[in-house]
Structure formats: C-alpha cells, structure tokens
A = this chain, B = another copy of it.
C-alpha cells in the first residue's frame, strides 16, 4: 500500500466508524420532481468538498464538529427516473439508521426526500414533530396533476405528523389555499416562542435552503426574493438547541446555478451549525 498521506474525501470532522457514531449523514441525490430549475442531485458531493473550506470549530456553539460524533455514510444510488423506487430506498436506509438507535442527517437532493425520512422516523418516534424552514409552503395537494412533488411534501407529511405539530418558518410563497391551511392549523410562526409548543416532542428539522434570501443562496431551484439572511437562520438554530432533535435534513441546493461557489459554501455552514444543534 501507499504511505500517502491522502486527502480525506468525506465530510470534515466525521467519525469514520458507523457503529460508534451517534448521527448518520446520508446523501440523497434525487431531484426527479423538480418543477423549475433542476440539479440538486449534484449537491451532496459538492457540499462534502466545500466542507473542507470551513473550520471544524463553531464559535456560535463553541463546539467542534468532532464533538458531534457523526458518520458520513455516502450518497445513496437511486434508480434514475423512478420516483417511487427512490423514495422507498431512502425510507429503508433511514429506517436502518433509527433501528440501530442513531439519528439521521439527510443531505438532499430535492425536498421530496423528506417524506420517506419522516415515514421512517415515525415508526420509531410516536410523538414526532416537524420544524420546517422554507420559502415555499409545500402544502399543495398536487402539482400539475402529480401527487408526488416537492411542492406537496409538507402536505403529505401532515398526514403522518398532525399539522399542529408542524411549525413553518420563513414561508413567503404559496397558493392562497396553502396560506389558509397554515393559518387554520397555526403552522406558520415568526417568533422563536412559536416553537415552544413542540417542547418535549421528538423533532425532525427540515431546511429547504431557499428559506435564505437568493442573495445568500443563488444556487437553488426556485429562488424567491425576500428571504432570511444567514445569521437569522442560525439564530433559530440556537433557539432549537434545547429541543430534542432526532433527525434533520438540508435540501434544494442546485450547485450548477452557483457560479461563485458561495451557495455551496453557505450550505456546508448551515449543515455544520445544524449538526451542532443535535
């Protein structure tokens, strides 16, 4: 064998050993139902590379990535053009993670991947709640006639986790009916205290990166002006520190629309900070 040393090609700061890790990071390079600009399938690998441009220490959380004890399991290989098969594969692997007593950290791919993650989590955690960062409500019943769409993912999830246990943050785009649905169920919150209703529950945090303003995150499929700056998002994470988080994902980076690389770098930092919260 060669003496090297070789560059580590996995996520910075990971625990190389699956078995002893508390959290398993799983790449989910699927973008089959994207309505506008596709390409989030390339995100997990490009974020992994960009992670090495960060420090492993977070001054906000005064913690190192090594303290988080997560394992980078790599990216699932999906059957191309097969939405159903891709979702099932995701569900099966996430189930295995929960069965072994670990927590999951998914890296999309498009937002629809959150559905099988939640399905798997719900089998192990009865009192599940969801915290949803996004520009879009994702509460449609269908999108152009298709039920399985990233624009409908939270609506699907609301049949597994009751709407009152889903809190949405940053939503600024949707149909009028989606806003009415949110209002009816008290889903949309704009202050930290809106999260307090979920204390004591098992929480899955799903971050659609387009919750950030397109100036911060140009590399995404459906950029929607008027979003959060980076620190606002991190402030929410800081508040979540005391909650019982059993899973997270970060989705919808589209690296091909990120000529300057700043979106990918920001996505990597979102993930680092969110790992610190778990």
Which chain A residues have a beta carbon within 8 Å of chain B's beta carbons? 1-9, 18, 24, 26-27, 29, 31-33, 35-39, 45, 49, 53-55, 57, 59, 62, 64, 73-77, 79-83, 85, 92-93, 96-97, 143-146, 148-149, 172-176, 179, 213-216, 218-219, 222-226, 229-231, 234, 256-262, 265-266, 269-270
Contacts and interface: CB of A to CB of B under 8 A. Distances in A.
Contacts of A54: 173, 224
Contact of A74 (B9, B18, B64, B261): B9
A21 B223 CA distance: 30
Contacts of A149: 80-81
Contacts of A97: 2
A223 B53 CA distance: 9
Q: How many copies does the complex hold?
A: 6
B3 A93 contact: yes
Interface centre among A4, A9, A173, A219 (most CB of B within 10 A): A4
A57 B38 CA distance: 23
A81 B1 contact: no
Given A75-B7, A257-B260, A64 B219 contact: no
Q: Is the interface of A mostly helix, strand, loop or mixed?
A: loop
Contact of A81 (B93, B146, B213): B146
9 smallest beta-carbon distances between A and B, as pairs: A218-B260, A215-B215, A214-B262, A80-B144, A225-B230, A225-B266, A6-B74, A38-B38, A226-B230
Given A257-B261, A261-B223, A3 B213 contact: no
20 contacts: A2-B93, A3-B92, A6-B73, A6-B77, A9-B9, A31-B38, A37-B39, A37-B261, A45-B49, A55-B174, A59-B172, A59-B173, A59-B179, A81-B144, A81-B146, A218-B262, A224-B269, A225-B230, A225-B266, A258-B260
Given A6-B75, A59-B173, 9 more contacts: A2-B96, A3-B93, A6-B74, A37-B261, A55-B174, A62-B176, A81-B83, A82-B145, A82-B146
A216 B219 contact: no
Given A76-B7, A96-B2, A39 B36 contact: no
A275 to B, nearest CB: 15
B176 A57 contact: yes
Interface centre among A32, A37, A230, A262 (most CB of B within 10 A): A262
A2 B29 contact: no
